[in-house]
Structure 1
Amino acid sequence: MIKKLLVGIVIITALALAGVYYAIEQAKSYLQTPLALNQAELVTITPGTSFNRAIGLLVAQGWLSETPYLRLLPKLYPELTNVKAGTYQLVAPLTAYDALAQFTQGKEHQFTITLVEGSRFSEWRQQLAQAPHLTHQLTELSEAEIAAKLGVDREKLEGLFLAETYHYTAGTTDVALLQRAQRNLERVLKKHWAQRDAALPLRSEYDALTLASIIEKETAIASERSRVASVFINRLNLGMRLQTDPTVIYGMGEAYDGNIRKKDLRTATPYNTYMINGLPPTPIAMVGEAAIAAALSPEQSDYLYFVASGRGDHVFSKTLAEHNRAVRAYLKVLRNQ
């Protein structure tokens, strides 16, 4: 009788252990299940979300089935229990374990915004307002109010942020993004200002930034930037007016309809470099590092003029007679197109 009882206990214990083993293996297998993702998906984990709730989110989206072994999972995988709030991107192939690992490691999805060289602050504002998952704090503020919020002691913010690609996580504010762009500009500008030729006719870093913005608007060809810079530096050294159309356009504001007429060149504005001496009062566009480098390390040349060639680049001239011939050649190209 005792022998039979012992045999029974052994059998029951074995069955129990087998059941536990089966449950553990099923739980492990569950977390190795690939999520049913048809495309890259974003999921937001709110503060205070538990491990069970994180699993529930995956189930609710139809990416994972339910399991009767949910209670075992935190014991088997304690490293997955400290779920961090954030917005995550799930991309196939991805197992349930991989997804939870992202949540616990805080590997939030990085959104991207490219703030382009040569564009204006008003265009950046529109772009920021449309950026996904960015918290907007500047939408209703004037430019002067934004400047105050950023701690900038200027009324105009044109040119005061470095144009480049920025990455951010969901919930980042537009203020924080601009602050980062502002710090990046200050860092880059100071670096190139420290390396400049002291003989340049630029009185301040802000002058350099203003010249860089004109270069940015005049050419998008990397190999031309330092030569364009040399034309303007040469003109400043000789006391010649810069006579650059992008400054005229900027000064026209909303009146610009895509064309510059002779009367526009003769209309006085603080930015019309056909009418004023030296640089305009502020930058006319946002700039990248390459334009700043060109402004402060211009090519050594005797060029005083340049005009579009009609082929995408520019023709540079040392004399007005050469320049006039280049202009006539450009007009001929336009007529033949």
Structure 2
Amino acid sequence: MYAQGHRAQQRARDAERQAPAHGPRPGSLPPGPGGLLHLQRTAGNAAAVRARSLMVQRTAVTDPRTKQSVESGGLSPDERVALAAQLLRAKKTKELDRLRAAHPDEQDRLSERALRAIMPRYRDVHPESEGESESEDPSVFYRTLRPEELPLRNGLRPPVGHDPEKSAADHIRAGSRAKVKSSWVSFTRSLKTAAAWAAENESRIAKVKLPDGVRVEEGRVYDTTDPEQLAAVFNGGGGSAENFAKASQEVVVKGGLDAQAVLEVFKAKYLTPEQYEQYKTGAATDAGLYAVVRTRAKVTENKQKLVPKPIGIYQHQEPPVGVPKRKDRERTPENDDRSNRPRMTT
């Protein structure tokens, strides 16, 4: 009897000491001020939990453009994507990881859209296609040359009779089909893109470097690989022209560039697959060869994907300046004397 009574008392004491796992059951709150105090404590804990969760959503991230701290929770989803793209472009991986951790529901979308913004690709990669060839130097561009262009002599300028009132968006939309040209000159950040255009008829390629201070001039240069500059050109209404500009990594310069900006001139032509492999592996060498690339796959109108083509890019020497014709010679006493000589008549 005594042992049974002792065990019953022990069980009662243990039950009093055990706290409920998920709060008290309805109707079990102690009456009076003790119940009110319990409710206040519970509400305070919930508020603290909510405050901690909001702090996670409002993680401060340093914007690489303004160098100022930005509360990510106060940005819209599209603004967070733009911020992620800037962080990725500036190689601020730790800041990007903080931004993604602050918004776990958007982690994959932030990474995917940010990567697409700085390295756009609008079709699947062919297994034989190489990756992007965007220049590491943001001031180095390439241009496929027209037959009449002499970059080392005349620079790269708009054609005669161009319309200076045409905007950069009009220039990109019309492309090379424009009957009236604009004052903008197109380049690309990708050597591979320039080579793909040039190899069609073994054209030349100019490699240029933007002079210091040119980008400072407002509205002089637009680099469509930068989402902000792309938006400044099309204002969100570019459509297919906007996609083409991004895929081509197009850069437009108002008024073009002087001859001093031209670094080198190349010539591009198609290679056989065997030549490409020999050059790529080093089994064959060519003193004039600058680089070998393989184009991205193209999709035809019939939705057929063409096999990428290997291209060789060769150093090219521009022809020397020819002797000017008599009418273009400078006026000198000798030439003036010749012009005044009497002509023989019969």
Q: TM-score, normalised by structure 1?
A: 0.26
User: Which one has a larger percent helix, Structure 1 or Structure 2?
Assistant: 1
User: Which one has a larger percent strand, Structure 1 or Structure 2?
Assistant: 2
Q: TM-score, normalised by structure 2?
A: 0.25
